[in-house]
Amino acid sequence: MDILKKTAALLLALLTAAAFWLPSAARADRYRVLDAALSMLEEGNPFLVRYNAENHADIQARFPLGCPYFWGGRRVNRILQKANPEQNSDYYHTDRQYLYGLDCVGLTRWACEQAGYAEHDAISGLLNTSNYKEYANYRARKNTGPERARYLQAGDLGAIQHADGGFHIVMYIGTLVDYGYTRKNLPEELVPYLTWPLVIHCTGSSDYYTRYRAWLEETGDAETLPPFGGVIVSILDVPAEAAPSFTPEVPELPELTKPCFDLEGYHLEILDLSAEKRQRWIRWRKRPGE
């Protein structure tokens, strides 16, 4: 009986993973969303590599080092050009020059546009509007980890308001299982989190800062400042103490150093939403063409 139960559980897990990636008319738009979003990761990123392998796709990284973060960045055709931000922020100043990139809204709006959706509202609007279908009886603060993932579908947007009043937006992209990971090919520390939600977002990252700082030095550019961050994949809801290491230290920006897991050489950061002021997950009412 135990063998039968284990076999049934294994088949259910395999069917669930297959259903996530199964090509169909109902999922075609979600494929386009992921195609676009994942193309903003750096070359060799394990999620991009495994997405291609699982789907027999050939999505290429648009930028070898990944898409950098830029305050107010919305225009993909300007990425990696030198630019001054239009307004000051904590890390970007109008009198300094940076590499142009996208910000969190710039990434999700562009990815959704590639899938045929209309431009989504500002984050504050997403948190309040009734024009987007919210999950029935789903309250984000009451469901975390694998329970949260059960409610989400690839391409869903998570609108967030921080405790300090700032805003952020992320896109759900599946779980480690959906990218071909198993208990046998994961680091021991990550095994308990096989079915926990993964998101892609444009945010602060010491990896991007150090990566592009080295690139600017190699090109002899002493005037342009490296980006504060870029497009990364994070895992939601995992306790910070579960992570065995941290992203690279940046002495001038210590807040960029965050707890992470080493996943095939990639620093998989933890994103904790438990202290956020507000959050809401949004799914488009209709697919493109409906």
Number of H helices, E strands in the chain: 7, 10
pLDDT of 35 above 80: yes
pLDDT band at 282 (very low <50, low <70, confident <90, very high): confident
Domain residue ranges in the chain: 25-282
Phi, psi (deg, nearest 5) at residue 135: -65, 140
Interatomic CA distance for residues 109 and 63, integer angstroms: 18
Q: In whole angstroms, how large is the CA radius of gyration of the chain?
A: 19
Give the pLDDT confidence score for residue 120 in this predicted structure: 87
Q: What is the identity of the amino acid at 173?
A: I
pLDDT averaged over every residue in the chain: 86
Cβ neighbours of residue 20 under 8 Å, at least 6 residues apart?
Answer: 154, 174, 178
Q: Which of 209, 243, 186, 239 is closest to 46 using CA atoms?
A: 186
**What 3-state DSSP class applies to 34?**
helix
pLDDT of 9 above 90: no
- Are 107 and 67 in contact by the 8 Å Cβ rule? The answer is yes
Q: What is the pLDDT of residues 91-105, one digit of tens each?
A: 888 999 999 999 999
Share of the chain above pLDDT 90, in %: 68
